[in-house]
Amino acid sequence: MLRRLLELFFVSFTGFIIFVIIKVNSGQGVPWIGGIRNLPHFDKAGHLILMGGLSFLAVLAIVPRMKSPPKKATIRVVSILILIIAIEEISQSFIPSRTFSLADFLFDIVGITLCGWLAYRLALIFSKTR
């Protein structure tokens, strides 16, 4: 039951991120962000939190389904996420309303790596208590 719930959260969060990317790429932005967009470093924190959350949920939802040992499976999931996000960030160079940002990408990598590792450690702790 918990596994299915984690998978649902992962798919839903992935859909949310895709929705946000489409809105921002089209130049519409995301209106519900409102005034918090003006906070210092909001953009970088957003990258870290969104990609970190995606990584956390991906590791918890996907790694248990993989046949590889958990550590190796986690590295694969995190690596694939970094590759996908690299492609997305590079693609912004070709969208008139967007710009490529190495800093955004670095915050994506930090979020993905840190939260992927946290999910891996959390999964290990729960697997030992069963």
Closest CA relative to residue 114, chosen from 52, 22, 67: 52
| Number of domains making up the chain | 1
Indicate the pLDDT class of residue 128, thresholds 50, 70 and 90.
low
CA distances to 2, 36, 47, 84 from 105, rounded to whole Å, are 31, 21, 8, 11
How sure is the predictor about 33, in pLDDT bands with cuts at 50, 70 and 90? low
Residue the block writes with tokens 């939260």 = 115
Please tell me the distance from the alpha carbon of residue 96 to that of residue 11, in angstroms, as a whole number. 29
CB atoms within 10 A of CB 5: 11
CA distance 20 to 108: 15
By the 10 Å C-beta count (0-12 exposed, 13-18 middle, 19+ buried), 58 is classed as buried
Whole domain around residue 96: which residue ranges? 2-129
Inform me whether the pLDDT recorded for 38 exceeds 70. Answer: no
- Per-residue pLDDT band for 6 (boundaries 50, 70, 90) equals very high
Which pTM was predicted? 0.88
